[in-house]
Chain A
Amino acid sequence: MIKKRKSLWRRLRENKVAQGVSSVLLPVLFGVLILALWQGQILHKIFNTDTNTLPLPSRICHIIIDNIPAFAQNALYTLLVAVIGLVIGSIIGYLIAVFAATFQKWGKGGLTIVGAFNAIPIVALAPVMTNWTKDISNDPNIRSMFAKTLVVMIVCIASMSINAFRGLTELKPFALDLMKSYAAKKSTVFFKLRLPNSVPYVFTALRVSVPISIISAVVSEYFAEYIVGVGREIRENIVLGQYPTAWAYIVVACLIGLVMYGVLMLVESIVLKNRKVK
């Protein structure tokens, strides 16, 4: 019998090690390629810009390293707004979902309304919140922080409540019947069945909320009274024509996002360790 030798390509595709290596190597290579094109000013030719509007990566790094205290302070404020808003918003969203799951007839209608809130542009929300929180404190920093956190909170409520509601109600088949056959109390059904069932859905919601929380923190800083935060610095520097500094702040904003996402992934892998993640 003649055994046809598989082609090199085919063997590479079936080799697990090669697959693992390539799934890391290919994106890294791509990233390096882009950075090289950028540093080599070829991107500038493609987009027809100069090194001021699109500064070189080395320049951006220099700016960040030279001004670490200022960057750290602004990043801290944005991070605070994003995290506090995310946490409070997610908790409120979860409570709404619990309410909706207990009183399903009225709750579902309420969820539609909450979902509609999700479609309201942040740009419309941010100035309204700034107006509403004028009396919170005499310190413009505190009241701006409050307004920004409110915006992030509202944005995060929607995705959490909708996902958590699904987690609380989309149970495994016959799970509810089993609980009934135990004559379980409503509270037992909630704590032993619904709550654990909703945990993976909570993480799905958080994966959506984390990037959104940062974007809304950045955008709400545009409209805030007090000039602080990564988003505001981007804008202020653009107004001054300081594009390299603005780019540096954009990089910082991305880093904040990466860190928050990384932390979320870590927590998720610990919490969902014993479950099969869909």
Chain B
Amino acid sequence: MMKTITKIKNSKALVTLVWVLGLLVIWEIFAFIIQATKRTPENIMPHVWQIFYSLIDPKPVSNGMSCLQVVLFNAGQTLSRAGQGFMIGTLIGFALAILMKLSHIVEKIAAPYLMLIQLIPILGMAPIILAMTHDIGSSRIIIAAILTFYPVATNTLAGLNSVEKQKYELMYSYAAKKSTVYFKMLIPSCIPYFFTGLKIAAPMAITASILVDTLQGDGGLGCMLSQSLKHAMSIYVFWDIVVFSAVIGVLSCSLMGWIENAVSPLKRIERKTKKKKEAA
């Protein structure tokens, strides 16, 4: 039994691995074609190994820092702001969802605006928020928070509204207080939805933070990205940042998945039943 399970697991990882390798091969084929036909192939499509080599290359590219140092140093700046905005946005989003559940009036006022807010190009508004706050750090936080807030709010609200009528009836039969209903029933059952919202929001917060960086010249991944594109430093910095932000985006999404696995009571029950099944 155990053997077959590990076999299935292995094959699943294998499938993903094959896909990744396939994509790499396609990339490399094009990279070779471009290398043969273009004067500056590294601007269009460098080889994968060239990108990775640039990461370990100790040759300084700017201010005596190597590519990797540049990327990591600026990533710290960008990601910490994205993280702060993400936290604030999550808190506000969750609070709003609970408020909307508590009060019909708040729900009625907020519901159409929650739909409308996702049609506003917040990322397009980045320069204006920068002009309003005069500080790139706080505008990063604000934009990341706004972008985080609505997926969290809408998904959490969907979770709160998904609770079956029977559960309410059960709670009624216990003569449960309102606070008990919320803490024992509504909030636990909205957690999977809440995490779906977080998974959508996490890459968005990072995108927002990087985009705000490109607007002003004082550090951050986006700033380095645009400088490298203008050939103020090695073009490989650009490729490193592209790869890095892609990896961080994917990681941020799976990080939320891991946190959910660790925190969510539903997942804990799932694991328990799985263990029991395996033991049986």
Name A residues whose Cβ lies closer than 8 Å to a Cβ of B: 13, 22-23, 26-27, 30-31, 47, 49, 53-54, 105-106, 108-110, 112-113, 116, 118-124, 127-128, 131-132, 134, 211, 214-215, 218-219, 222, 230-231, 234-235, 238, 243, 246-247, 249-250, 253-254, 257-258, 261
Query: In the bound complex, how far is the Cα of B225 from the Cα of A219, in angstroms?
Result: 15
Nearest CB on A from B186, distance (A): 20
B19–A110 CB distance below 8 A: yes
Partner of B121 from A23, A110, A134, A254 at Cβ < 8 Å: A254
Residues from chain B with a CB closer than 8 A to the CB of A214 are: 119, 121
**Which B82-98 residues have C-beta < 8 A from chain A?**
none
Asked whether B102 is an interface residue with its Cβ less than 8 Å from the other chain, the reply is: no
Partner of A127 from B15, B23, B225 at Cβ < 8 Å: B225
23 A-B contacts (beta carbon < 8 Å): A30-B113, A109-B12, A109-B15, A113-B16, A113-B19, A120-B203, A120-B250, A121-B211, A123-B210, A124-B225, A124-B245, A124-B246, A127-B238, A127-B242, A131-B44, A211-B118, A211-B119, A215-B121, A218-B121, A219-B121, A250-B120, A253-B120, A257-B120
Knowing A127-B238, A132-B44 touch, does A121 contact B210 (C-beta < 8 A)? yes
B246–A22 CB distance below 8 A: no
Which size bracket describes the interface of B in this complex? 35 or more
Residues from chain A with a CB closer than 8 A to the CB of B115 are: 261
Q: Contacts A109-B16, A113-B19, A243-B131 given; 9 further ones with Cβ under 8 A?
A: A23-B111, A26-B105, A121-B246, A132-B45, A235-B127, A243-B128, A254-B116, A257-B121, A261-B115
Residues from chain B with a CB closer than 8 A to the CB of A254 are: 116, 119-121
Query: In the bound complex, how far is the Cα of B159 from the Cα of A8, in angstroms?
Result: 31
Knowing A47-B132, A119-B252, A250-B128 touch, does A124 contact B242 (C-beta < 8 A)? yes
Nearest CB on A from B12, distance (A): 7
Query: In the bound complex, how far is the Cα of B132 from the Cα of A247, in angstroms?
Result: 12
Asked whether B152 is an interface residue with its Cβ less than 8 Å from the other chain, the reply is: no
Query: In the bound complex, how far is the Cα of B203 from the Cα of A231, in angstroms?
Result: 21
Asked whether B206 is an interface residue with its Cβ less than 8 Å from the other chain, the reply is: yes
Residues from chain B with a CB closer than 8 A to the CB of A131 are: 43-45
Nearest CB on B from A63, distance (A): 14
Mark interface residues in B215-254 (1 if CB within 8 Å of A CB, else 0).
0000000100100010000000010011001100110110
Partner of A53 from B131, B203, B242, B249 at Cβ < 8 Å: B131
Beta-carbon nearest neighbor of A49 in chain B:
B132
Knowing A49-B132, A109-B15, A250-B120 touch, does A119 contact B108 (C-beta < 8 A)? no
